[in-house]
């Protein structure tokens, strides 16, 4: 299995531009999570989906952030317009529907997208 | 609400010595607890979990963790540290519907 795949790995763009981060979860996993990691705030859960439906988006910082999951194999996190304070590493993770049995891991993480807003 | 705390930002240990990375938790009910490791420029990787059963849990790369209900702790341990163990370690607690809340992370530095 290829694991959770995120693209791009690095993104550098200017303030005000639209940024789209992409994630392909592990096949068969029905939960998908978006996290943001910064030195100041650590690892924050932004939003997560179950069967392509958003379950909890209370971590989304503001209306400039939006996330979609149009099908079971693809999700996007969009920032429009971007600001320098959005600079962070953004992680996607996916999970199967059994916690602690079968699939050993509660969540499988991608290698992240390092976003720099100038 | 469920939460975890990692009281140490950094732990330094010499290669070959035992290591401990601390984690305490707060939960109503029985906790489901996890440890993850993050190497530079990589995502988090699962190490081990406590769901129920034995208080001493064994995981990947020779790591283990001890669940202590009376002290509400779940410390990560390894008998003999390797330089390659140097990384960022996260404790996490299950908060329902497959969601996890992560601690602030502890950077482990193993010196040769």
Chain B: residue nearest A96 by CA?
A: B98
Contact residues for B30 (Cβ-Cβ < 8 A; gap 6+): B52
- Across A99-103, B16-20, B43-47, the highest mean pLDDT is recorded for B16-20
- Mean pLDDT in chain B? 93
Tell whether B41 lies on the interface with A, counting CB pairs under 8 A.
yes
| Highest-pLDDT range among A73-82, B21-30, B42-51 | A73-82
What's residue B67's pLDDT?
95
**pLDDT, average across residues B20-25:** 98
Burial-class residue B96 by CB neighbours within 10 Å (0-12, 13-18, 19+): exposed
Cβ–Cβ < 8 Å for A62, A46? no
pLDDT at residue B97, rounded to an integer: 72
Over residues A37-70, the pLDDT tens digits come to 998 888 999 999 999 999 999 999 889 999 999 9
B34 touching A (Cβ < 8 Å)? yes
What is the model's pLDDT at position B51?
86
Q: A94: nearest CA in chain B?
A: B98
pLDDT higher than threshold 90 for residue B52: no
pLDDT at A118: 96
A116 min Cα distance to partner chain B (Å)? 14
Q: In percent, how much of chain A has pLDDT > 90?
A: 80
| CA distance, residue B44 to nearest chain A CA (Å) | 6
Q: C-alpha distances in angstroms, B57 versus A42, A56, A61, B3, B53? A: 26, 31, 36, 20, 9
CB of B94 less than 8 A from some CB of A: yes
CB-defined contacts A:B, below 8 A: 62
pLDDT for res A104: 64
Contact A109 B44 (CB under 8 A): yes
Give me the pLDDT at residue A101, please: 52
HEC profile of chain A: CCCCEEECCEEEECCCCCEEEEEECCCCCCEEEEEEEECCCEEEEEEEEECCEEEECCCCCCCCEEEEEEECCEEEEEECCCCHHHCEEEEEEEECCCCCCCCCCCCEECCCEEEEEC
Cβ–Cβ gap A48/B99 under 8 Å? yes
Specify the pLDDT at position A99. 61
What are the chain A neighbours of B49 within 8 Å (beta carbons)?
100, 104, 106
pLDDT > 70 in chain A, percent? 92
Nearest CA to B37 out of A92, A109, A9, A94 is that of: A109
Q: Which of A89-103, B24-38, B73-87 has the lowest mean pLDDT?
A: A89-103
Classify strands B19-21 and A108-109 as parallel, antiparallel or unpaired. unpaired
B interface mutation test: which of A21, A106, A112 has the most B CBs within 10 A?
Answer: A106
Strand B10-14 relative to strand B106-111, pairing: parallel
Is the pLDDT assigned to residue A105 strictly greater than 80? no
């Amino acid at each position: 299995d290829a694991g959770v795949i995120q693209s791009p790995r690095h993104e550098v763009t200017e303030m005000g531009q639209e940024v789209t981060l992409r994630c392909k979860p592990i096949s068969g996993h029905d939960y998908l999570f978006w996290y943001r990691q910064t030195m100041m705030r650590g690892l924050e859960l932004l939003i997560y989906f179950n069967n392509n439906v958003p379950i909890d988006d209370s971590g989304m910082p503001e209306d400039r952030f939006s996330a979609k999951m149009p099908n079971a194999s693809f999700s996007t996190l969009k920032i429009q317009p971007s600001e320098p304070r959005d600079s962070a590493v953004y992680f996607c993770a996916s999970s199967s529907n059994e916690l602690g049995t079968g699939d050993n891991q509660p969540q499988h993480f991608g290698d992240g997208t390092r976003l720099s807003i100038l | 609400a469920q939460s975890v705390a990692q009281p140490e930002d950094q732990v330094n240990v010499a290669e070959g010595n035992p290591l401990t990375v601390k984690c305490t938790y707060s939960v109503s009910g029985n906790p489901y607890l996890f440890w993850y490791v993050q190497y530079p420029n990589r995502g988090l990787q699962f190490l081990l979990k406590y769901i129920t059963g034995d208080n001493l849990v064994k995981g990947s790369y020779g790591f283990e963790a001890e669940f202590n209900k009376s002290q509400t702790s779940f410390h990560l341990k390894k008998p003999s540290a390797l330089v390659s163990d140097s990384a960022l370690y996260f404790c996490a607690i299950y908060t329902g519907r497959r969601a996890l809340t992560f601690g602030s992370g502890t950077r482990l530095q193993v010196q040769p």
